[in-house]
Structure 1
Amino acid sequence: MATVEINKDKFKDIVGKQGIVLLDWWATWCGPCRFFAPIYEQVSNKHPDITFGKIDTEAEQELSGAFDIRSIPTLMVFRDGILLFEQAGALPAAALEELISKVQALDMEDVRRQVEAQRAQAEPSKA
């Protein structure tokens, strides 16, 4: 599957769906982004069941600000609408493949329980 351009209008629908979604935050002027782009595209072609999105930080400044993107490229990985990974910097193909394998292997029921436990812990106690 080829990569898809994502804007603020498409963002929630794409990221919130079931399955794995990778996001590459990038800009045309960014050297590391240009280095990472063909790697990202190559890996996307090996995984037609995964959505590989690209977000142009210059065109989508509001979205970039909402996610506090300070360095590019930044890679985010969501599964079933849950943010599982975020890291700035270009990854080599092998590291990207390893990351995908780890995300595929996750027990999402366990992840959801952990997220709920963290939310409950973050809420002020109701006495």
Structure 2
Amino acid sequence: MVALDVEKFNEMTKFDGVVVIHLSAAWCTPCKAFNAVFDKTAGNHDDVVFASLDTDTQPELGAAFNVKSIPTIAVLRGGALIFTHEGSLSEKALSDVIRQAGEADLEAIRKSVAAAGVAKLGKSGGR
């Protein structure tokens, strides 16, 4: 499990595989409840990067994901955000999202990212 900050997020945008991010905050009771599902699902997918993002300690990243409520799940593939979901998911639903993300056409994703440009965050100010 990777704890995301801006630098680690920028590294994730270079990764071709599936990255699943759990956006939450320490005070969020539904986020805490979802942790068990997220952790169990992570244990069943060795080929997927699972990351956590505390929106209170990393507000710039929370803003980059346009978080309106937590928990939020975000899935990246090939540097592109391909799925977001506000609220918890069941283990079955999260595994299905991961399966679909893994089956997505990586070349089409790359073309989409190239056309749009990959957002980078950092000290230079914004995305």
Aligned mates of 2:98, 2:9 — CA distance in 1: 20
Among candidates 37, 59, 69, match of residue 71 of structure 1: 69
Q: CA RMSD, aligned part only?
A: 1.8
The number of aligned residues is: 116
**Largest Rg, 1 or 2:** 1
For normalisation by structure 1, the TM-score amounts to 0.82
Aligned mates of 2:30, 2:57 — CA distance in 1: 18
Give unmatched runs, 5+ long, in structure 1. 120-127
Among candidates 5, 20, 27, match of residue 22 of structure 1: 20
Aligned mates of 2:9, 2:28 — CA distance in 1: 22
State how 1:39-78 maps to structure 2 within 5 Å: 39-78=37-76
Asked if the contact 2:78–2:109 (Cα under 8 Å) also holds between the matched residues in 1, the reply is no
Give the C-alpha shift of residue 55 in structure 1. 0.3
Asked if the contact 1:20–1:51 (Cα under 8 Å) also holds between the matched residues in 2, the reply is yes
Q: Which runs of 4+ in 1 moved over 6 A?
A: none
Greater helix share, structure number:
1
Aligned mates of 1:35, 1:79 — CA distance in 2: 26
State how 1:1-127 maps to structure 2 within 5 Å: 3-113=1-111, 115=112, 119=116
